[in-house]
Amino acid sequence: MGICADELRRYVVRPTLRHLGQWSQAAENLLLGTAAQESGLGFHLKQANHRALGIYQISPRMHKNVWDKYLAQDPELASKIRGLASQREFLAHPHLELATNLSYATAIAWVIYLRTGHPLPAQAAEDLNLLGRYWHRHYHSHAHGTVEAFVANYHTLILEETQIQSLGQTGAHKITAWQH
């Protein structure tokens, strides 16, 4: 099963970041790129290595670490994220939310970046190489991918799917007019 990148942007990533009070174009693009890089072609909901879950490939260990070491110190943000989780299932099987709840998984992926304490540069919104370097430095990668792979996956899974070619910007490493 694949996920439409435009729908992921409009109906999951953007509203989740806004719910958290964390939206920026750079953050939105970073999370889309993270999903493209971590999940591989087609945004498959997969447990590729039996250690990481969902489109962001977050391990149960990382999930626990985010809650215990970061969100425990920020009760307001923790409450907003907990509000995205299922009421019963989260208590019984919290890690499954990473594979079955896209908004919750998006929030946790964002916190993986937040917890580093290194702000995402605003100019990253328009620079895929900068987004790729930020991902490479601050996001765990089960495959230890490269910045070049991040950029290539973003082009293939995000830009091409959102019909960037029709805007005459095919092959560019800039993200501009196709965004809302």
Residue 173 lies in a domain: no
Distance CA 29, CA 130 (A): 11
Q: Is the pLDDT of residue 14 over 50?
A: yes
Residue 125 lies in a domain: yes
User: Which pTM does this prediction carry?
Assistant: 0.85
CA atoms within 13 A on the CB side of 50: 0
Residue 175 lies in a domain: no
Instruction: Give CA separation, 146 vs 40, 78, 120, 153, in Å.
Output: 13, 31, 18, 11
Q: Is the pLDDT of residue 21 over 80?
A: yes
Residue 180 lies in a domain: no
Number of domains in the chain: 1
- The pLDDT of residue 40 is 72
Residue 35 lies in a domain: yes
Residue 138, domain extent:
5-167
The distance in angstroms from the start CA to the end CA of the chain is: 26
pLDDT digits (tens, 9 = 90+) for 118-144: 999 989 999 999 999 999 999 966 566
